[in-house]
Structure 1
Amino acid sequence: MTCALALAGCGGGGDGDTVDSVAPAPDLGVTQPGTDGSDGGEQVPDVEPDFFLQKLSTSPTIIELSDEQAIFNVTVKAAEVDSGGAMVGKAVTLKVVSSETNGITIEGQSTQVTDSDGNAVYTLKLNPQAVVDKDALIANGFTLMATANKADGTAVAPQELRVSVSREGSGDGTQVVESELDISTSLTTSSVSNNVLNVYGDTATLSVIAKNSKGARVQNVQVGLGIDSIKGISIIGGNSKSTNTDGIAVFNVKVDENLSKAERDALLIGEGIAYAISIQEQSGATKQETGNLSIGLPTSDYVLNVEGRDELLNAYGDEQPLTVTATAKNSKVPTNIDGAKATIKLNNSIAGVRLSTEALTFDATGKAVVSLIIASTLTTEQRKEIVEKGVNYTVVLSEPNRAVTADTYGNEAYIPDSQYQIKFATKK
């Protein structure tokens, strides 16, 4: 017995019949402190970094509703807040809002684990036969929502994406026939004669004209109008119309007159306001055309003139009435000059010369009256100065469309009953 204990204590000993063997440490499934060569200090658990979900992306970005099922991919990116690096191994759940009616389903599990790049990738399918309202799906698209939880169970901010859907085929297994109608447009603005939308504010009519191959206009064609979603630009009175007996569908487009300078400047950049016109004949044939509505600074539509500028001014004292006129350049000018404002100011300050007013308001005939006054108390030198320089003045008109028109005019002066008479032509 003594020998057996001694052998056991030295690591030797007999076989399994020896009852004095030292029992091995129990297997608890974890490494015990001090048994792996460490000093057996306190163990600190790993802390999961804070993370966020980026905006979802689809490939392709616009899903086509055709006669066949459409397969597309959705990617959700999870990234660490501090570094922006990939958040690997996080469970992300994707939801298709209203899946039971829009025909969109996820192929496989709705919860995926992010890969080494921090991406959770899903395959989705659009089944055209399962779409309850195809027109609504094309008009409104569908919504995807991605969610994920932190290690403590709290949710990170979810991400939501509205995906656009376009019609490639009929979506119901029938062949779509393309319309052969010719579609043309005509824009008429309410503030300028050149039919370019006025960035300072405008209300315009966009006429869509449908003609057949023989040039005859076609009635009862359904026409839809869509424009870019831009602040200050809107369609008034509905964006779906039917062509009338003249084959015309008329839409009203409005430019907000209260935009800031920065917002107006933004509208002036680029090629104008993009639009899309969709038509559908009674036969079901459809067609879509796109284009741009021009927008710009207002053009000047009025010509200025001053009646009375040919009259000579008496340097010994005079009061000459001047009639300032503003005349529309052509019959296409849509605005009314009645009530428009202007200023008139002397260009060269001469003692004893003044205007009865510097503020003008035009009447319905496009006229405004002001008097040019020469004082009778001028000195000899002042009279000579008037005769030598003449009297020049500038008229600045603020047109109804907010364009600015300016022109300069002048009157000559004379000294009566003098042996010399100096005239200085300043008329323009």
Structure 2
Amino acid sequence: MAQKFNKILIANRGEIALRIIRTCREMGIKTVAIYSTADRESLHVRFADEAVCIGPPASADSYLSIPKIMAAVEITNADAVHPGYGFLSENADFAEICQDYGIKFIGPRPEHIRTMGDKITAKDTMIRAGVPVVPGDGTLLKSAEDGMQRAETMGYPVMIKATAGGGGKGMRIVKRKEDFVNAWNSARAEAKASFGNDGIYMEKYIVQPRHIEIQVVGDQYGNVVHLSERDCSVQRRHQKLLEECPSPFMTDDLRERMGEAAIQAGKAINYEGVGTVEFLVDADRNFYFMEMNTRIQVEHPVTEESIDHDLIKEQIKVAYGEKLSGMNYLPKGHVIECRINAEDPWNDFRPSPGKITSFHSSKGHGVRVDTHVYAGYTVSPYYDSMIAKLIVRAPTRAEAITKMERALDEFIVEGIKTTVPFHQWLLRQNDFRDGNFDTGWLGKQELPRN
């Protein structure tokens, strides 16, 4: 067995930091929490073996400050860094700095992050690997006129996308020529503001797509396995709200083909670590590579509960050199995850920071809650609005929906608005219960108003 780490610094906050701490403790590995002054009372600070304040609330001055994080690594003698998700988790420069200083970055190598982080490079890599991709050559558009000429050849609708994009930023659907210039200008402006890069490329827009992703793990010896799928099609403005496994749209044949394609994707770059290959699937169950996230994802508990496997533990074991067993996994029963955000769903999902005056999380058989909040905790306006993930597991999808309805009824948060009422509304919709939805379904629904 390879030498395990003595101490891992967690370059993140909130529920994912707490999630990593729990696995490290079970593995006998000490942990270091970093925190901004806004997170002084966060549970990840309390439960880590050590904690280092790295700056004021603004992310640029704390959780995104590589010099401050590396200083915390040095003063605590940590021998590895776990980046969680978001922040620096897909920052190749950070991974490279860790590597240069002899600190293990628990994630892929810097070249993997760079290859899959740039949409055009990633697409070219997948084409060479034989993985199906969305039609479109992936080259940067030179101008709006260039884009319109290509769109005429490709056929509308098309999707213009930021090459450095993520989280739905810099993406626009263009259904007709007359709308192209406005979409081009707004996508470039958003991409420049979000990523410092206004490069734009174009793909054929897949009508009524499902967003289905395959969880993969690769070791340091060239082995890659897949751990089944997650359906993330319930989205608002390209942001995931609910995830489930197995997908109600999935067939055994489709799972086998998508799983094999995801393994091809991982092997094409000699991928090391836990990652997710994301696909769009059309109404005829043709699937197309969309992107690869080279990190643990928010929705990883769906896979953990579906196959009874600790993905954080797998990440750490791969990082210190253990070999994979070589087995792919199939889902057992049905798992649903609802993201509970500090937002007012009936007021255009407006953020709702503030002090939580009362908090009661759901319990019972087959119910899991990943959260860092508690009664008295203040939700900061500086960070992502997610305060909890509510996950249920049951033998069938119908039973999982019923269990989630019960769990949502028991989930009490007072003092702020949350998305609990939205999820209660969602589970009552016939289209959702019948599995009849795609990534654009929610945008066509009339939500209740305050």
What is the TM-score of this pair, normalised by structure 1?
0.19
- Which structure has the greater CA radius of gyration? 1
Which is strand-richer, 1 or 2?
Answer: 1
Higher relative contact order (CA 8 A, sep 6+): 2
